[in-house]
Amino acid sequence: MNTDSDLDAITAFHCRHGKAYLFDKIVNVTVGEKEDRMMITGLHTVADIFCVGCGSIVGWKYESAREKGQKYKEGKFILERFKVLGPDGSAYVNEQDVQIDGSDSEDE
């Protein structure tokens, strides 16, 4: 059962284009090469994930986290809301969601 705090943890991520979401499983993506990336929450080993339809980067997969408090992210995926289309092909982007000067990593 999800509580409000569970949902906050899932949606409290940001990337260079605004909101991002953390998922246990996703479909229709391929996983790229692993690389170490310094993020606001510390050093992580991540791999970009790509849409199988168009090849665009749509987020990343957390392979490993160095910080003990970040281990819950391992094996999970971040999808950038800006990169995901709705069922009718329209973007889910809301002008309030787009950040002009953001980071390409999450911010909790």
Domain 4-97: CATH class, spelled out: mainly beta
- Candidates 65, 63, 61, 69; CA nearest to 20 is 61
pLDDT of residue 77: 95
Percent above pLDDT 90 for the chain: 44
pLDDT of residue 85: 65
DSSP per residue, 18-40: EEEEEES---SEEEEEEEEEEET
Tokens of 57: 């980067």
Higher local confidence (pLDDT), 13 or 27: 27
Mean pLDDT to the nearest integer, 31-54: 93
pLDDT of residue 29: 95
Q: What is the pTM of this model?
A: 0.69
pLDDT digits (tens, 9 = 90+) for 62-84: 999 999 999 999 999 999 877 77
